[in-house]
Amino acid sequence: MIKKMVSHGNSAALIIDKPILEMLKIDMNTLLEISTDGTNLIISPVRDKRREKRFRASLEKVNKEHGKTLKKLAR
């Protein structure tokens, strides 16, 4: 399958077809880990609950400390 990136605000987005999401049991609330091996982009669902908890705690901390700045940048 060949896909093309689409514009999403000031970013680029990749549209993932519904059958692939269903096959991988991914929905809009699934955290995705994005990594690379230096050549390929690797997108994997986060299945480790401890990792998800740590991620959410880190995200909350960043939002608490830098939320106002991030909102200004989003405008």
CA–CA gap between residue 36 and residue 22 (Å, rounded): 24
What is the predicted pLDDT for the residue at 53? 82
pTM above 0.75? no
Whether residue 36 is predicted with pLDDT greater than 90 in this model: the reply is yes
What is the predicted pLDDT for the residue at 70? 87
pLDDT tens, position by position, 43-68: 998 877 787 788 888 889 998 999 89
Any idea which fold 6-74 has? Pemi-like Protein 1; Chain: D (2.10.260)
* Burial readout 2-22 (b: 16 or more C-beta within 10 A, e: otherwise): eeeeeeeeeeeeeeeeeeeee
Domain ranges in the chain?
Answer: 6-74
User: Taking CA 23 as the corner, what is the angle to CA 57 and CA 1, rounded to the nearest 5 degrees?
Assistant: 105
pLDDT tens, position by position, 10-27: 999 999 999 999 998 899
